[in-house]
């Protein structure tokens, strides 16, 4: 089973499997964050047919050497495309996206010096797969992955063991694991969701032992149309009303600000840089798939499903009118990587 479109694991596999042995889930019921337009367009493209709003699209076509036949339909919150063929290309595409998303983690990990026998916390650990890599590479004795999302932590269970464990917690309240200090505080692609870095950084620094390391990676792409258009759409009616005036910005300061902050907090050794990751996406519409799993969740979580679908549809229209139609599409993505060692 492949999950197209929403970029999140399907939570309704059981339902989906009622329809066919081979199911491509285009929405998967995962909070209905894919609009019907998106789903229908993907389904119709896959099946080579015309999408009909809230209806069933059926057809067949040659696809990657396989004959696919099936239909796209929305059933309650679940939208499925059933096929009799195989879906070989999506996992490859997913793997390529996954590798691109993981590269900054590995670049950050390169900055961390091993701490044999040490204690580490991975703030906003997500599914935990990278927490286990962090633990192995640093030779730590104990690594705790902390996340506030139950859904993420459910997936992390399989990476626990051998000194790795996971616990639920909120970074905004994190003041250490216990009274003994940590050797490494690691946060990859998580603290951009946490406001007020002027108070967060002193708090994180205070959880480290003398000689402890802080390693953080954050997206810093607020000036790209993918982010700027979302802010503009959020300010316009009726989306502004649906959002109660909320306009999302990641909590991120300049690289220079972090360098000064680290120095003031007693990180005598430090490394702070902005790195541009140039993603080659199949087309401009894939930028939307990219931000749906990250930036746009900040909007989705604040809106009713129908309001978010309207927001997403208008965002898509506005963004695609600003982006060139080159294929592959070059999507430069800036990130701040920082590392420091406390005196
Ligand atoms: C983009 S994911 C990154 C996951 C992981 N660090 C990785 O590199 O794959 C961001 C994670 O941060 C978590 N997160 C966001 N804000 C948080 C908070 N205030 N406290 C704890 N976790 C948080 C989210 O639940 C999500 O799992």
Lowest mean pLDDT segment, chosen from 226-230, 274-278, 301-305: 301-305
- Domain spans of the chain? 2-87, 96-279+332-342
- State how far the Cα of 193 lies from the Cα of 224, in Å rounded to an integer: 18
Average pLDDT over residues 275-285: 94
Atom number in ligand 1 closest to CA 174: 20
Query: What's the pLDDT at 298?
Result: 84
Tokens of residue 339, six digits: 């590392």
The residues that bridge with 161 in the sheet, in sequence order, are 164
CA of 283 to the centre of ligand 1 (A): 27
Query: What's the pLDDT at 163?
Result: 97
Longest C-alpha distance within the chain, in Å? 66
Contact 332, 278 (CB under 8 A): yes
Ligand 1, residues 31, 108, 124, 143: which to mutate, most atoms within 8 A of Cβ? 124
Q: Is residue 225 reached through a cis peptide bond, with omega within 30 degrees of 0 on the bond before it? A: no
CA atoms within 13 A on the CB side of 73: 14
β-pairing verdict for 119-123 and 182-188: parallel
Query: What's the pLDDT at 295?
Result: 87
CA of 163 to the centre of ligand 1 (A): 21
Q: Could you tell me what percent of the chain has a pLDDT over 70?
A: 72
Atom number in ligand 1 closest to CA 217: 8
**Which protein residue's CA is at the shortest distance from atom 11 of ligand 1?**
124
Q: What are phi and psi of 337, to 5 degrees?
A: -115, 130
| Whole-prediction pTM | 0.73
Query: What's the pLDDT at 236?
Result: 97
Kind plus residue range of the DSSP H or E element containing 135: helix 129-138
- Is the predicted pLDDT of residue 52 greater than 60, yes or no? no
CA of 51 to the centre of ligand 1 (A): 36
Q: Any residues with Cβ below 6 Å from ligand 1, and which?
A: 105, 124-126, 130, 147-149, 152, 170-172, 188-190, 193-194
Q: Does the CA dihedral 259-260-266-269 come out positive or negative?
A: positive
- Is the predicted pLDDT of residue 8 greater than 90, yes or no? no
Reported as a pLDDT band with limits 50, 70 and 90, residue 51 is: low
CA of 296 to the centre of ligand 1 (A): 14
pLDDT digits (tens, 9 = 90+) for 55-104: 344 444 443 333 344 444 444 434 444 433 332 223 333 334 677 889 99
Top pLDDT among 107 and 150 is at 107
CA of 81 to the centre of ligand 1 (A): 31
Fold adopted by 96-279+332-342:
Rossmann fold (3.40.50)
Contact 183, 213 (CB under 8 A): yes
pLDDT averaged over the chain? Answer: 79
- State how far the Cα of 4 lies from the Cα of 42, in Å rounded to an integer: 8
CA of 317 to the centre of ligand 1 (A): 29
β-pairing verdict for 119-123 and 57-63: unpaired
Atom number in ligand 1 closest to CA 293: 1
pLDDT digits (tens, 9 = 90+) for 105-138: 999 999 999 999 999 999 999 989 999 999 999 9
CA of 189 to the centre of ligand 1 (A): 7
Q: Is residue 238 reached through a cis peptide bond, with omega within 30 degrees of 0 on the bond before it? A: yes
- Is the predicted pLDDT of residue 5 greater than 70, yes or no? no
Reported as a pLDDT band with limits 50, 70 and 90, residue 150 is: confident
Contact 184, 213 (CB under 8 A): yes
Q: What is the C-alpha radius of gyration for the chain, rounded to an integer number of angstroms?
A: 22
pLDDT digits (tens, 9 = 90+) for 188-206: 999 998 999 999 999 999 9
The residues that bridge with 335 in the sheet, in sequence order, are 219, 275
Ligand 1, residues 130, 135, 148, 199: which to mutate, most atoms within 8 A of Cβ? 148
Closest to 92 (Cα-Cα) out of 282, 329, 327:
282
pLDDT digits (tens, 9 = 90+) for 286-332: 999 888 878 898 898 899 999 999 999 999 999 999 999 999 999 99
**Which protein residue's CA is at the shortest distance from atom 23 of ligand 1?**
124
Please tell me whether residue 323 adopts helix, strand or coil conformation.
coil
Contact 233, 315 (CB under 8 A): yes
Give me the helices (H) in 265-304, please. 285-292, 297-300
Tokens of residue 243, six digits: 């959002």
Q: Could you tell me what percent of the chain has a pLDDT over 90?
A: 62
CA of 198 to the centre of ligand 1 (A): 19
Atom number in ligand 1 closest to CA 187: 6
Closest to 231 (Cα-Cα) out of 294, 223, 284:
223
- Is the predicted pLDDT of residue 238 greater than 70, yes or no? yes
Query: What's the pLDDT at 226?
Result: 97
- Detail the DSSP E strand segments found in the chain: 2-3, 23-25, 57-63, 66-75, 78-83, 119-123, 142-147, 164-168, 182-188, 208-219, 267-281, 329-342
CA of 40 to the centre of ligand 1 (A): 30
């Amino acid at each position: 089973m492949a999950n197209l479109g929403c970029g999140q694991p399907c939570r309704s596999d059981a339902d989906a499997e009622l329809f066919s042995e081979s199911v491509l889930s285009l929405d998967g019921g995962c909070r209905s964050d894919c609009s019907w337009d998106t789903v229908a367009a993907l389904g119709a493209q896959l099946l080579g047919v015309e999408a009909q709003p809230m209806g069933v699209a059926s057809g067949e076509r040659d696809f990657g050497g396989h004959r696919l036949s099936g239909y796209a339909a929305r059933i309650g919150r679940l939208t499925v495309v059933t096929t009799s063929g195989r879906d070989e290309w999506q996992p490859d595409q997913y793997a390529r996206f996954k590798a691109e998303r993981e590269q900054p983690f590995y670049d950050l990990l390169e900055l961390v010096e091993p701490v044999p026998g040490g204690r580490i916390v991975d703030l906003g650990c997500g599914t935990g797969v990278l927490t286990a890599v962090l633990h192995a590479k640093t030779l730590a004795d104990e690594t705790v992955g902390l996340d506030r999302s139950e859904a993420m932590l459910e997936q992390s269970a399989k990476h626990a063991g051998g000194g790795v464990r996971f616990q639920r917690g909120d970074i905004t309240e994190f003041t250490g694991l216990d009274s003994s200090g940590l050797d490494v505080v690691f946060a990859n692609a998580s603290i951009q969701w946490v406001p007020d870095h002027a108070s967060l950084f002193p708090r994180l620094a205070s959880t480290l032992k003398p000689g402890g390391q802080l390693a953080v990676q954050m997206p810093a792409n607020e000036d790209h149309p993918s982010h700027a258009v979302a802010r503009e759409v959020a300010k316009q009616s009726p989306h502004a009303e649906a959002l109660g005036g909320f306009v999302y910005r990641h909590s991120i300061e300049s690289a220079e600000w972090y360098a000064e902050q680290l120095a003031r907090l007693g990180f005598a050794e430090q490394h702070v840089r902005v790195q541009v990751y140039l993603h080659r996406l199949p087309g401009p519409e894939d930028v939307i798939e990219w931000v749906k799993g990250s930036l746009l969740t900040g909007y989705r979580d604040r809106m009713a499903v129908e309001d978010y679908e309207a927001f997403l549809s208008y965002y898509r229209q506005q963004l695609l009118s600003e982006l060139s139609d080159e294929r592959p599409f070059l999507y430069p993505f800036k990130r701040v990587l920082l590392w420091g060692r406390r005196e």
